[in-house]
């Protein structure tokens, strides 16, 4: 079974609003990564946060990681219609090269 | 630079047949991973190869196998296809630096339909 679980499963917001999605995982990790997928195509890497980091920014993206709670959040600020996609978190279990993806959050940004 | 390429883009097979999917990594990348993504779910890790050696394996039956060639391209083979093998198969490449802090770059995928 997949390790990561994203919450919410689906999110619909207006353009310009912020979107927050959360990810929980079960075991100790090397790092956590967020990916975007448009219409069932290949995934695009957004950001990687290491297990010893607590927050990271990249453009309109802000990621936090709480290893004590085994959770992460992705914030997209000032959302655009082009941000409409599915977002997945992926964890790399400590001591392995095995990537475990969550179930994804489907984000819809309405123009 | 070209990204990760996969072939074919679409494939239709019948139950019991065999299929081979191909992946070419980004130039300079030595690691290739394979994932299965069933509609509505996240990708499931199948294999990771580095320098032609298997470096990780997910919970898939032995009907699934893969290999990596000296030019770092890779093949995923699935024998005795089942209806449940219908999915998008994704290939991802990474530098293969030996650390765990690697970014994976995904190809567009091969959509397999088993009838």
Mind telling me how many Å the CA of A99 is from chain B's nearest CA?
6
The region that residue B16 occupies, defined by phi over 0 for left and psi between -120 and 50 for alpha, beta otherwise, is left
Q: pLDDT tens track of chain A, all 111 residues?
A: 445 688 899 999 999 999 999 999 988 888 899 999 998 688 999 999 999 999 999 999 999 999 999 999 999 999 999 999 999 999 887 777 788 899 899 999 998
Contact B42 A4 (CB under 8 A): yes
Tally C-beta pairs within 8 A across A and B. 67
- Residue B101 has its nearest CB partner, among A31, A100, A101, at A31
Instruction: Check if the beta carbon of residue A109 is closer than 8 Å to that of residue A19.
Output: yes
Geometric angle at alpha carbon A23, from B111 and A39, rounded to 5°: 25
The rounded mean pLDDT for chain B is 93
Q: Which site among B100, B106, B109 would you substitute to test the A interface, given the most A Cβ atoms closer than 10 Å to its Cβ? A: B100
Q: Is the pLDDT of residue B21 over 80?
A: yes
Inter-residue contact A92 to A77 (CB < 8 Å): no
Nearest to A45 among B39, B88, B103 (CB): B103
Per the structure block, which two tokens stand in for A28? Answer: 């100790």
Of residues B43, B44, B100, nearest to A97 (C-beta) = B100
Whether the predicted pLDDT of B8 surpasses 90: yes
Contact at CB, B48 and A40, closer than 8 angstroms: no
């Amino acid at each position: 079974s997949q390790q990561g679980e994203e919450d919410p499963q689906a999110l619909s917001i207006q353009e310009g609003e912020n979107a927050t999605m959360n990810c929980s995982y079960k075991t100790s990790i090397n790092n956590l990564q967020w990916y975007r997928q448009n219409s069932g195509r290949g995934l695009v890497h957004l950001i990687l946060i290491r297990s010893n980091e607590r927050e990271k920014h990249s453009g309109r993206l802000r990621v936090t990681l709480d290893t004590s709670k085994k959770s992460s959040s992705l914030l997209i600020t000032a959302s655009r219609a082009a941000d409409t996609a599915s977002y997945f978190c992926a964890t790399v279990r400590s001591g392995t090269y095995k990537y475990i993806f969550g179930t994804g959050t489907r984000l819809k940004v309405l123009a | 630079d070209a990204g990760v390429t996969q072939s074919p883009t679409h494939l239709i097979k019948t139950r019991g047949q065999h299929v081979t999917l191909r992946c070419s990594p980004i130039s300079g990348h030595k690691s290739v991973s394979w994932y299965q993504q069933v509609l509505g779910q996240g990708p499931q890790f199948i294999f990771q190869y580095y320098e032609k050696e298997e470096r990780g394996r997910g919970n898939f039956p032995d009907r699934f196998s893969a290999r990596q060639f000296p030019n770092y391209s890779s093949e995923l083979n699935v024998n005795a296809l089942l209806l449940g093998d219908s999915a998008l198969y994704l290939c991802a490449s990474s530098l293969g630096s030996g650390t765990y802090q690697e970014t994976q770059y995904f190809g567009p995928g091969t959509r397999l339909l088993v009838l």
